[in-house]
Amino acid sequence: MPTPYQTGLMWFRRDLRVQDNAALYHALKSCQQVYCAFVFDREILDALPRADRRVEFIRESLVELNAQLQALGLAHTGAPVGLLLRHDHATRTLPVLAARLAVDAVFINHDDEPDSLARDARVQSALQAQGVAFHSFKDHVVFERDEVLTLSGKPYTVFTPYKNAWLKKVDAYYLKAYPTEKYAAALAALPGDEPREVPTLAELGFEKTNLSALKIPTGSQGAAALFDDFLGRMARYQASRDFPALKGPSYLSVHLRFGTLSIRQLARCALAQQQAGSEGAATWLSELIWRDFYAQILAHFPHAAHSAFKPAYDAIAWAHGDKAQALFDAWCQGRTGYPLVDAAMAQLNQTGYMHNRLRMVTASFLVKDLGLDWRWGERYFAEKLNDFELASNNGGWQWAASTGCDAQPYFRIFNPVSQSEKFDPQGKFIRRYLPVLTGLPTPALHSPWLASPLELAAAGVTLGVNYPLPLVPHDEARALTLQRYAVVKKG
């Protein structure tokens, strides 16, 4: 059967893999020859700190992706296949590249973040002016946009009925893999003047981070190794996921963010294990469904990216001024005086990762103990998290702040001490990230200000000197929060 196009261009973005890639599959199947490109988009990169683990993760994953394309080219065509790489503004360089290669169509996978949609619209407009078709496909989630709606055709804004509808709709069709390798013979040879290697971090204007020291696996091979490891632990996920000192999570979130593995593969495996009776798999599948849920919320309600999902909550008067800034700085630095909060922030600052239970605890503390605008914390997480994606980060912060859809009630306020005692009972996590407190007996570790002078002296802890006193008393802060939220009639 003849293909619709002679020449196509696959533009990789947050889908850095060959296997089971929707846009790559459609490009290879629809074109006689397909070039592959990635743009280090300066519109994004120029705003980042010069040492950013995400840039290094992307760069290392591209090295593997480039090698995989080269291997496919050798195996199927014998041609020197690889990535066309650009360090420029995508809106400028994509139309130029398409013209240079004389492509008939450009293929991408959807990215529904507001800035990305605006970027893609500008690229599409420029390509259409050149007579180049632009095709976009679902790849980052299982269900998106209007695929799971209420019986009245409205988007779901409460998770449980969304989850039930999701589970009712999902089947083998939606979870099947795209057999990209089957059509790899369509991969086109790189033009002779194109570099064969991925630029170094230095060439991109960035510095090395501690990514390799942290042993964070990159690329699709790293993702596959992590998933294989998690498969042996998935059945215990429900029991272990809330305890940050345990190896409970999958640690796949950064790979989902950059598409180094397929969400369809993960959901397919989790669903099969759930159907076989695994409670751990059922709980983990729910987390994947939450990801879809927040993605469709952002697609339907883009205002949530910058303001409260529930507009009434924008009336809350958050703390402001120099004192508020000082409180925020202490929170960012892990200097709140509450060990679990401070250890969590140390984990984030040192590694770019934070355990999910601790994301809830630290967010609740910022908003409901310190009285600070949730958007401050959301922005800080956006800067620091290796796995940052707007929909999930925004959804999580608005859940904690009670401003979002299906959020916790405003009067639910995490107690940082009881959370510490419940989810880090032996203090292993706290001791890992707050070595200054290592010598304290475990009961005192959760609330050092209640420790006896003898215990503090024996541990070498001087409150207010080498470990801070609490920024605020939790009970008083809770009372102030209830007053602050009183402007909202319904939580």
- The catalytic site residues sit at 287, 290, 318, 356, 374, 397
Copy the structure tokens of residue 21: 């890639």
Three-state DSSP at 82 gives coil
Three-state DSSP at 484 gives helix
Rg (CA), the chain: 24
**Strand order from edge to edge, sheet including 105-109:** 83-88, 31-41, 5-12, 105-109, 133-137
Using CB atoms within 10 A of its CB, is residue 88 exposed (0-12), middle (13-18) or buried (19+)?
Answer: middle
CA distance 459 to 342: 18
Other CB atoms within a 10 A radius of the CB of residue 473 amount to: 11
Instruction: Name residue, tokens 């209640």.
Output: 450
Collect all residues with Cβ–Cβ distance below 8 Å to 304 and sequence separation of at least 6: 297, 298, 394, 395, 398, 404, 405
DSSP state for residue 367 in the 8-state scheme: I
Three-state DSSP at 187 gives strand
Using CB atoms within 10 A of its CB, is residue 251 exposed (0-12), middle (13-18) or buried (19+)?
Answer: middle
